[in-house]
Each structure stands twice: as structure tokens, then as C-alpha cells.
């Protein structure tokens, strides 16, 4: 790849776009180096899909959230709506890396059914309430940033889903077998439970 400098286009307005594009390219290269080839191949597919069932609202979704080389805003908006805080109704932009992580995990597990969602986004109000009720809820939970989700996958053992999530080496994985779900997030790599 060659970058050409055009002195006629050297305005301050052009600089952020150039830097942004440079960062996107760098992120793409570093992601492809860090990510196993099987995952990189999945992310290079022409379409990425996600199926979800929110157990609290009963809403389900089959979304093609990546097509034509880009994220599909309307499909991401639909995902965000299904993953909203069911207690308050607050909708939040979920981390695209988390959505991609779910896509990869579904493929890796050969999932035939949608992920069952126990918790997606949590408003600060909901998180504070849950933190008072249980010591298992972090005060600064990544759920409040749209970077975490609690799920299970029908037709697959929870322990298998946990193992597959850990093997991604992407973020945090919490194991809650008595409550029948795992927590995954796009924070630093760690595990518990």
C-alpha cells in the first residue's frame, strides 16, 4: 500500500481524516496479527449475522449487521434495542467488538439457535441497584459501557461455551453455572467463576 502526499490537500481539515484512516489500517493489521486465522477469516466474510433472544422482553432478532464492507447502522440499532436495559428501557450503543465477538463465538460453537440474553446494557441506576443486592455485580461494570453481555446458547453445554469464549483470548469471561449463563466482555483478558 502506498500513500501519496498531495501538497494541494494539506489543510488542517484533512489531517483528522488521514489520521483516522491511518489508525483504522493499523488496527486492522494489528487485529489480523493478534487474531487466529480462523477468526480473521470469519470477520472477512461478506456478511456477519447475529441472532438473539432477550429472555426478559421476549424479543428476538436475526440481524445482518455487517454487509457491503461496513457495519449496517439500522441493524446495529436493532441489536442495541434488543440489548437495552429491560428495567429502565434505556438503549445504549453496544460495542461493535462485542457484537463481532458474539458472531465469532456463534460460528465457533456451530450454534443453531439464537443466543439467550440474560443481560446486555445496564444503566448506572440498574447497576447500582443490582450491586446493592449482590456482591457479584461490579460497581463499574462493563455492562454500563455496552461492552459486556450475559448469555447462554441453547443446544450447547455452558461449560463448552465458556471454554470457547476463553479460547478467543479477547476479553473477560465469567462462568455462572448455577445461574446458567456466562459473562463475556471486551475488557482486558481475564477469567473468573
Give CA–CA dist 18/131, Å, rounded: 43
- Domain identity same for 142 and 116: yes
- Domain identity same for 96 and 30: no
Overall residue count recorded for the chain in this entry: 193
The domain in which residue 183 lies consists of 45-192
Q: Are 185 and 147 in contact (CB under 8 A)?
A: yes
> Does residue 2 belong to any structural domain of this protein?
no
Tens-digit pLDDT profile for residues 99-141: 999 999 999 999 999 999 999 999 999 988 988 887 777 878 9
- Domain identity same for 118 and 146: yes
Tell me the CATH number at 100: 3.30.1380.10
- Domain identity same for 115 and 160: yes
Tens-digit pLDDT profile for residues 138-187: 878 999 999 999 999 999 999 999 999 999 999 999 999 999 999 999 99
Please report which confidence band the pLDDT of residue 76 belongs to, taking 50, 70 and 90 as the band edges: very high
Note the pLDDT of residue 42. Answer: 65
Amino acid at each position: 500500500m502506498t500513500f501519496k502526499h498531495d501538497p494541494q490537500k494539506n489543510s488542517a481539515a484533512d489531517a483528522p481524516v488521514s489520521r483516522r484512516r491511518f489508525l483504522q489500517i493499523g488496527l486492522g493489521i494489528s487485529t489480523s496479527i493478534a487474531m487466529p486465522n480462523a477468526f480473521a477469516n470469519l470477520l472477512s466474510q461478506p456478511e456477519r449475522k447475529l441472532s438473539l433472544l432477550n429472555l426478559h422482553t421476549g424479543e428476538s432478532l436475526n440481524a445482518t449487521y455487517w454487509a457491503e464492507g461496513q457495519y449496517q447502522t439500522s441493524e446495529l440499532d436493532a441489536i442495541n434495542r434488543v440489548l437495552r436495559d429491560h428495567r429502565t428501557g434505556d438503549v445504549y450503543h453496544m460495542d461493535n467488538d462485542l457484537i463481532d465477538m458474539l458472531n465469532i463465538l456463534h460460528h465457533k460453537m456451530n450454534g443453531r439457535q439464537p443466543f439467550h440474553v440474560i443481560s446486555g446494557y445496564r444503566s448506572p441506576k440498574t447497576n447500582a441497584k443490582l450491586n446493592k443486592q449482590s456482591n457479584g455485580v461490579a460497581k463499574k461494570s462493563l455492562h454500563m459501557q455496552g461492552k459486556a453481555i450475559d448469555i447462554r446458547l441453547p443446544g450447547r453445554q455452558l461449560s463448552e461455551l465458556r471454554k470457547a469464549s476463553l479460547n478467543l483470548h479477547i476479553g473477560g469471561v465469567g462462568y455462572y453455572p448455577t445461574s446458567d449463563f456466562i459473562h463475556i466482555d471486551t475488557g482486558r483478558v481475564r477469567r473468573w467463576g
